[in-house]
Amino acid sequence: MHWIDITLVIASIVFVMLFGLKFAHKQDSTNSYFAAGGSVPAWAIGMSIFATLISSVTFLAYPGAAYGGSWILLVQGLMVPIVLVGMIWFIVPLFRKAIKLSTYEYFERRFGFGARLYGSIAFLLTHFSKLGTVFFLVSLAISQFMGWDIYMVIIVIGIAVTFITLIGGMEAVIWMDVIQGFILIVGGIICAALLLFTPEGGPSAVWEVAMRDNMINVGEFHWSFVELTFWVMAINGVFYAIQKYGTDQTIVQRYLTAKDDRSAKRAAYIGVLTSVPVWTLFMFIGTCLYAYYQIEGAEVVAGMKADEVFPYFIAHELPIGVKGLIISALVAGAISSLDSDLNCFAAIGVQDYYVRFRPESSDRQRLVLGRWIVAIAGLASIGIASIYAFWGGEGILGVLFGLYAIFSSGIVGLFLLGLLIKRANKQGLWVGLIACILFTAYAVLTSSKFTIDGEKQILMDLGSWNFTHHKYMLGVYSHLIVFFVGWAASYLFPAPKVDDSLTIYGYLKDRKAAK
């Protein structure tokens, strides 16, 4: 890399750390540290939601998938606005009214402390697995671009992310996400423009190659849950949307940073409606990448894996200065995902555990503990990424959705059960959760292959009774099991006394009364 590109990348990391200092003096309470004092404008919160959803995995994986000939990953994202149009209008007011800080406080108010514990642990496990994956992938890419040792990259980025979150709190996280979100968009547009206009024949030639080789498709439409079809991704996307916007602390916590319900709703819509075009942009980059090398000479990248071609293009085809900007965008994508996770880990640790067991603690004590949790979680993320690097990271992208499904077993089912079924009680819920855990264990053990004595084998081979559906469906089934089994089992126990404000029916009643 040219010294100009190296300077741009280093400057972007230094800027992140200096930016955190700008907000350090405001972080004098848990409300300001975790919820930015409830004063952030809607457009900034929306851009922060967008930047959190668009990680470095998007920057690398989406072009790789499209280069391989499929836009099927986009199907999940397309389900998000469809689902949220029908949900945001009551989910946002529900949480702003029902909780102080933690999403999982709602679970306790509806089903008791056990449900809150289950939800918060599921979040922590899920996001620690995601955090390690994103952190490792971006560090691997940057180390290859820059020629730096991967462990040094992990440490530098880890310190930068931890510093801005530790010093600047949620307000610094949100405004940094705004800047990083724009960098991601600009970086993607520049890459798309170069891929469209650089080849001989320009956009028309690129489009002709893409259409000729059927490079824009969203998977097979036949009805099958065994293969990765359009329907598997569409159904998975529905539950992904509910889980992300209805049960995920990184999103729900941002609702609390808005000044009122209307602003919070607007922020949610901005986040979603910005994410979908950018997901599409990175898919389009992968298709243009394929056409580019078909026109310029496919032998240049012959033998490469699909997800290696875009990094190769960045390293070898981009002009000086632009290369540094694109790699800075890659760093920005990682930081905008990781800083949110660290702040949310601290919020959950303080609100779900410390305040629960030390209700007499002062706000100052809670703030200090929150900072300690950020620092410890930041060091842990450096350790997790280093472990991935030591193992070589083989198959990391492939297991990301699998880990997400396993560690989030039934959370959407739990949420929908509390929201939609007034008859549901905590005893019925736990019957559903136990059934879900047993099913998840069965599905994982009878479908996942482990290396035993140098050979890959199914750990518990039941022959024709093995779980054979696609792994993306595992999370879907777990949510459905919790919902329906929990609903049915609730009739075996006394009917609960439910606060209507914790269900959709209370919201509808209040809305009708207001009209």
Angle in degrees, CA 259, 262, 263, rounded to 5: 50
Decide if pLDDT at 251 tops 80: yes
Can you tell me the distance from the alpha carbon of 380 to that of 385, in angstroms, rounded to the nearest whole number?
9
**What pLDDT is recorded for position 397?**
44
Residue 235 tokens read as 């159904």
CA distance readout (Å), 289 to 137, 302, 326: 20, 13, 15
Q: Please report, for the chain, the start and end positions of each structural domain, with discontinuous segments joined by +.
A: 3-71+146-235+250-393
Query: How many Cβ atoms are within 10 Å of 244's Cβ, its own excluded?
Result: 21
Q: What is the mean pLDDT of residues 136-145?
A: 80
Q: What is the mean pLDDT of the chain?
A: 86
**DSSP type of residue 493:** S
pLDDT classification of 21: cutoffs 50, 70, 90:
confident
Query: How many Cβ atoms are within 10 Å of 61's Cβ, its own excluded?
Result: 20
CA quadruple 351, 53, 123, 449: dihedral, nearest 10: -170
Decide if pLDDT at 398 tops 60: no
Decide if pLDDT at 395 tops 50: no
> What percent of the chain stands above pLDDT 70?
95
- Residue identified by tokens 């607007």 is 266
**What pLDDT is recorded for position 394?**
47
Asked if 429 and 486 touch (Cβ cutoff 8 Å), the reply is yes
Residue 385 tokens read as 């990424």
CA distance readout (Å), 285 to 25, 28, 244, 313: 42, 44, 26, 11
Can you tell me the distance from the alpha carbon of 405 to that of 401, in angstroms, rounded to the nearest whole number?
6
Question: pLDDT digits over 330-375, tens only?
Answer: 887 777 778 888 999 999 999 999 998 898 999 999 999 999 999 9
Angle in degrees, CA 80, 96, 410, rounded to 5: 50
**DSSP type of residue 100:** S
**What pLDDT is recorded for position 399?**
52
- Residue identified by tokens 């269900």 is 503
**What pLDDT is recorded for position 173?**
87
Lowest mean pLDDT segment, chosen from 28-42, 388-402, 467-481: 388-402
**What's the half-sphere exposure (Cβ side, CA atoms, 13 Å) at 103?**
29
Q: Which of 448, 428, 402 is nearest to 491 (CA)?
A: 428
Residue 150 tokens read as 């991967």
Asked if 267 and 178 touch (Cβ cutoff 8 Å), the reply is no
**DSSP type of residue 258:** S
Question: pLDDT digits over 23-37, tens only?
Answer: 887 888 999 999 888
pLDDT classification of 472: cutoffs 50, 70, 90:
confident
**What pLDDT is recorded for position 400?**
53
Residues, the chain, total? 515
Residue 114 tokens read as 């056990």
The 10 Å CB-count burial string (b at 16+, else e) for 120-150 is bebbbbbbbbbbbbbbbbbbbbbbebbebeb
Q: Is the dihedral of CA 111, 115, 116, 119 positive or negative?
A: negative
Q: Which of 344, 397, 484, 340 is nearest to 48 (CA)?
A: 340
Element (H, E) at 457: strand 455-458
Can you tell me the distance from the alpha carbon of 136 to that of 60, in angstroms, rounded to the nearest whole number?
12
* Phi, psi of 454, deg, nearest 5: 80, 0
Q: What is the mean pLDDT of residues 8-17?
A: 84
Q: Which of 124, 279, 241 is nearest to 476 (CA)?
A: 241
**What pLDDT is recorded for position 451?**
57
Decide if pLDDT at 441 tops 50: yes
Angle in degrees, CA 480, 406, 46, rounded to 5: 80
How far, rounded to the nearest angstrom, does the alpha carbon of residue 178 sit from its chain's CA centroid?
17
pLDDT classification of 407: cutoffs 50, 70, 90:
low
Decide if pLDDT at 167 tops 60: yes
Q: Residue 303: left if φ>0, alpha if ψ -120 to 50, beta else—which one?
A: left
Question: pLDDT digits over 214-230, tens only?
Answer: 898 888 888 989 988 99
Q: What is the mean pLDDT of residues 292-315?
A: 84
**What pLDDT is recorded for position 339?**
85
**What pLDDT is recorded for position 406?**
60
Can you tell me the distance from the alpha carbon of 241 to that of 236, in angstroms, rounded to the nearest whole number?
9
Q: What is the mean pLDDT of residues 175-182?
A: 86
Q: Which of 335, 187, 16, 393 is nearest to 195 (CA)?
A: 187
Q: What is the mean pLDDT of residues 22-51?
A: 88
**What pLDDT is recorded for position 360?**
92
Question: pLDDT digits over 411-424, tens only?
Answer: 899 999 999 999 99
DSSP code per residue over 160-226 = HHHHHHHHHHHHHHHHHHHHHHHHHHHHHHHHHHHHHHSSTTHHHHHHHHHHHTT-------S--SS
**What pLDDT is recorded for position 452?**
55
Can you tell me the distance from the alpha carbon of 63 to that of 284, in angstroms, rounded to the nearest whole number?
7
